[in-house]
Amino acid sequence: MVDLLMQQKTQLENKSIQLTSGLKSQTYGGISSDSRMALELRREISNIGIYEDSNAVASIQLDLMGKSLEHMEKMRAESVSAIDENNYTLTTDGQTTSQQATEIMLHETISQLNSEVNGYYLFGGKDATEPPVASLDAIMDGQGGKLGLKELMKRYENAHIGASENGRIETSVTSPAGVPTLTLQQDNVEGFGFQINSVTASSADVATAVVPEDLSDPLNPEGKQGTFAFNDTPEVGDTIEVELELPDGSKTVVKLTATDDPDAGEGTFLIGTGANPTLESAQNAQAAFDQTISGIAKTELRAVADVQAGEEFFGNHGRPDPTPKVPKADGSGYETGTDLLVDWYTGTENDDDPRADKVVQIDDNVRVEYGARANEKAFSEQLQNLAVFVAADFTAETPDDDESEAVAKSYYALLAQKSDDALSVAGNRNSGIQSVASEMSVVNTTVKRTAERQKQELLTYQNTLTGIENVDKTQVGTEIAVLSTDLEASYQATSMLLNLSITNFLR
């Protein structure tokens, strides 16, 4: 009876502990065969808890990155509408209204590329703790003795257009063997300016030829030549033309038509009427070429030079040599020093995949990569095309002069068209930013779906663990009541037995 009493007392104490703690046992040994499963379930629950933190951080960063990409894409689309080649309207600060609108979009793009979450800059690459993109003022005007975009554009313009403002095509008229000959010659400096591709004439009286460059004397190199030998005086309607190639590979044809009308205007040259009409015709053709080529140099060639400067400033875009090429201030070649330009991007820069800059394990068998760098082509090209247009100087060289105003308007229209074309996306293709956004959207979807799956798994694990470890308090309460009654009866029976004597037994 005493043993039974102690067993019941122990059972009652255990049941009281179960009722208080809600657990079947205070040790895994108390749940015997279920202990291994309980330990495994607790390990899974702990892992999910760890992944919940990394998933939450990744989800926040990807959400903000998605909003930044969406806003940058909006800026790209709006800039296409804002850059109007026909809207040459200067404001009091010398900018056109299109430039002012585009500058706002450029500011916004830089701001989005400097987005950060809790000290981590989303477009700075690996562990970026500082803004990866320089301020607009530093980009435009330089900083710390380094050149900005405006100065680089000016240097490329000067180098390509040349001191004579003729795209480095020098003209001359000579009379070898008594034949007046008009020569167009490249000023051969590092490939600056126009390249002569071909020269042609419609009349057999004008012989044409292209003479290759001669670099045999390094101190006196001779550029490529295009020649027109006037064997006779041209007739009305005869044409001569030269095909010129610009630094970006595009081509332009300068065609002149012989006329006897002094007021015929652009695209013509006057037939000579003096003592030597053939020589005079060649000289008139020279003057017409000079004027026309100079006009193209100040407009189309200048716009091409600006774009080239932007490409050199903002990134290699697949160039074999990533080092930017900086022309000398006098246009006599390229600077030999390095690190001449302001560092517009200061984030991670190597040959690795930018996505691998940010790797997060979000499940036992799932990890995601969503690193990004502001110098990726999708971002740097948008910065480049916006910044070049904003940095350009579209004011007339001589204010209130009709000819100078016409040149400024033509230059504006050409650069605006190039900027607009570069920022536009044809057909159903995605822009570069949309492509990056699609990549990030897939990653974000993976993170969110993994987090949702883990929530379901966590609920299942917790319910299973509850069934293994926890007690039904109602049942335990009933068992305690039964044990209490049994224990009380056992106490009474034991008490009676302990007081038993022969006298009491005989009674």
Cβ neighbours for 504, distance < 8 A, ≥ 6 positions apart: none
DSSP character string of 425-467: --TTPPPHHHHHHHHHHHHHHHHHHHHHHHHHHHHHHHHHHHH
CB atoms under 10 Å from CB of 224, counted, come to: 16
> Would you say the C-alpha torsion 303, 304, 308, 314 has a positive or negative sign?
positive
Q: Along the 507 residues of the chain, how does pLDDT read in single tens digits? A: 566 656 655 655 555 554 555 554 545 444 455 555 655 666 667 777 888 888 999 999 999 999 999 999 999 999 999 999 999 999 988 899 999 999 999 999 999 999 999 899 999 999 899 999 999 999 999 999 999 999 999 999 999 999 999 999 999 999 999 999 999 999 978 889 999 999 999 999 999 999 999 888 877 888 999 999 999 999 999 999 999 999 999 999 999 999 999 999 999 999 999 999 999 999 999 999 999 999 999 999 999 999 999 999 998 655 567 789 999 999 989 998 888 999 999 999 888 999 999 999 999 889 999 999 999 999 999 999 999 999 999 999 998 899 999 999 999 999 999 999 999 998 778 999 999 999 999 999 999 999 898 888 777 766 665 555 554 456 545 655 665 665 566 666 666 666 655 555 555
Q: Which long-range contacts (CB under 8 A, 24 or more apart) does 48-53 make?
A: 48/454, 48/457, 48/458, 48/461, 51/361, 51/362, 51/363, 51/450, 51/454, 52/451, 52/454
Q: What is the pLDDT of residue 222?
A: 87
Cβ neighbours for 55, distance < 8 A, ≥ 6 positions apart: 362, 447, 450, 451, 454
Cβ neighbours for 115, distance < 8 A, ≥ 6 positions apart: 64, 65, 68, 121, 122, 123
Specify whether the CB–CB gap between 286 and 172 falls below 8 A.
yes
Strands 181-186 and 120-121: unpaired
DSSP character string of 223-236: --EEEEEESS---T
Q: How far apart are CA 480 and CA 486, in angstroms?
A: 10
Q: What is the pLDDT of residue 14?
A: 54
Q: How far apart are CA 225 and CA 416, in angstroms?
A: 33
> Would you say the C-alpha torsion 216, 222, 224, 230 has a positive or negative sign?
negative
Q: What is the pLDDT of residue 11?
A: 54
Q: What is the pLDDT of residue 24?
A: 47
Cα dihedral 435/439/442/446 (nearest 10): -170
pTM of the model: 0.84
Cβ neighbours for 344, distance < 8 A, ≥ 6 positions apart: 133, 134, 138, 139, 313, 314, 383
Q: Taking the CA atoms of the chain, what radius of gyration do you get in angstroms?
A: 42
Q: What is the pLDDT of residue 26?
A: 47
Maximum Cα–Cα distance for the chain, whole Å?
A: 172
State the distance between the two ends of the chain, measured CA to CA, in whole angstroms. Answer: 23
Q: Where are the domains of the chain?
A: 134-344
Q: How far apart are CA 103 and CA 383, in angstroms?
A: 11
Q: What is the pLDDT of residue 29?
A: 47
Q: What is the pLDDT of residue 31?
A: 47
